[in-house]
């Protein structure tokens, strides 16, 4: 941490800002919010070529920073509506503007829908988020590899970025691989509930969404990902976070890896924990379940499985639990549900849920 602010800096404590590397911006904002010192009434602004000034109400106690400075100028307009009104937008146009967006590293990701003048919206979002340099309009995720459809609407147009949250760094290209901001709490949770030296199978690892926080917590993770681009980022991110010794990555189909008996764990062909982060992984196939059946067979008696599913509201929790129990019963095993919770809305009438269960 830097020294206390100088007397000149302290003259106006309501205009203090801390200077940090631009790459750390989102992590520092999150930490400042947790500490209760982030000042949402002012903008994050650039500070030199590689740094930003993050507005705070007082110098933070738990965050490292380069220096404390005073921000000068007018307080920022707090909402997108304020910015658009300043640009002369009508009430009807503002009603059609997006109501939410996410900052992922140096990129603002937003669903424009039918909003008018997306370039002006993009420029406004860049004004509001000084840590970002590109705004992308997000379309639907499609295809076997869950590939995104994005369009550059403002800024530099660089879709590659490094996103930081809860001490984990995710390198990615938002034009080629998906990243769900709404799963932030779930990524953090997996790093908290895993035990050190757990043997974990992450069946749909992507760029390391769950693999990285679990490996960072000390677990040994076999991470399986079929998408070649996501797999490259998975390898890169394991190195970036210093967990290559705890991550064994396979670019393969889960069924092939499971069929080989998980030789990555040597003499222990079963695992303590399995993560199934693919929404459709619980779908039945003929008389059985394409992914659930081999997953349960690979799970140590008393091991835990974390099943993600996009479930219609009326079937919330009931459907994934019934599928788990059905798949387990065919192998003479039982299901003890440990926890159920909603992650986020998935689409109209459909919710993303997670079921944690012990398989005896």
Annotated binding site for S-adenosyl-L-methionine: 180, 187, 225, 253-254
End-to-end CA gap in the chain = 49
Q: Which of 19, 30, 309, 320 is nearest to 166 (CA)?
A: 30
If you search the block for the tokens 């059905």, which residue do you land on?
326
Residue 83: phi and psi, rounded to 5, are: -65, -40
Q: Which residues contact 264 (CB under 8 A, 6 or more apart)?
A: 222, 248, 250
DSSP string, 90-148: -HHHHHTS-S--EEETTEEEE--TT-S-HHHHHHHHHHHBTT--EEEEE---BTTTTB-
In the structure encoding, which two tokens stand for residue 293, read together?
Answer: 């059946």
Distance CA 260, CA 247 (A): 18
Query: What residues are designated binding site?
Result: 180, 187, 225, 253-254
- The DSSP symbol for 156 reads S
Residue 173 has what DSSP assignment?
E
Give the residue carrying structure tokens 């199934």: 276
Exposed, middle or buried by CB within 10 Å (0-12, 13-18, 19+), for 254? buried
Helical residues (DSSP H) of 177-317, grouped into ranges: 184-193, 211-216, 228-240, 254-259, 292-297
């Amino acid at each position: 941490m830097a020294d206390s602010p100088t007397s000149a800096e302290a003259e106006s404590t309501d205009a203090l800002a801390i200077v940090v590397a631009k790459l750390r911006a989102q992590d520092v904002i999150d930490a400042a919010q947790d500490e209760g010192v982030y000042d949402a009434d002012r903008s994050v602004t650039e500070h030199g070529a590689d740094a930003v000034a993050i507005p705070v109400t007082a110098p933070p106690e738990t965050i490292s920073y380069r220096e404390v400075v005073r921000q000068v100028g007018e307080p920022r307009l707090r909402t997108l509506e304020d910015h658009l009104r300043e640009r002369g937008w009508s009430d009807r146009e503002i009603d059609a503007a997006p109501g939410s967006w996410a900052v992922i590293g140096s990129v603002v990701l937003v669903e424009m829908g039918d909003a008018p003048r997306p370039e002006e919206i993009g420029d406004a979002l860049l004004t509001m988020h000084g840590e970002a340099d590109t705004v992308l309009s997000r379309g639907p995720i499609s295809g076997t590899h869950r590939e995104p459809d994005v369009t550059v609407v403002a800024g530099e147009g660089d879709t590659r970025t490094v996103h930081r949250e809860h001490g984990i760094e995710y390198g990615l290209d938002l034009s080629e691989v998906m990243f769900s901001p709404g799963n932030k709490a779930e990524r953090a949770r997996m790093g908290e509930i895993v035990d050190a030296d757990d043997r974990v199978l992450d069946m749909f690892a992507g760029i390391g969404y769950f693999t990285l926080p679990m490996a960072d917590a000390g677990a040994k993770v076999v991470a399986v990902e079929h998408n070649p681009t996501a797999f490259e980022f998975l390898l890169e991110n394991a190195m970036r976070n210093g967990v290559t010794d705890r991550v064994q990555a396979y670019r393969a189909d889960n069924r092939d890896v499971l069929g080989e008996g998980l030789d990555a764990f040597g003499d222990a062909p079963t695992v303590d924990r399995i993560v199934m982060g693919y929404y459709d992984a619980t779908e039945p196939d003929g008389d059985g379940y394409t992914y659930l059946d081999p997953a349960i067979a690979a799970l140590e008696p008393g091991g835990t499985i974390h099943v993600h599913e996009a479930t219609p509201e009326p079937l919330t929790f009931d459907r994934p639990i019934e599928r788990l129990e059905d798949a387990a019963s065919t192998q003479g095993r039982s299901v003890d549900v440990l926890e159920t919770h909603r992650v986020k809305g998935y689409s109209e009438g459909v919710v993303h849920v997670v079921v944690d269960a012990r398989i005896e």
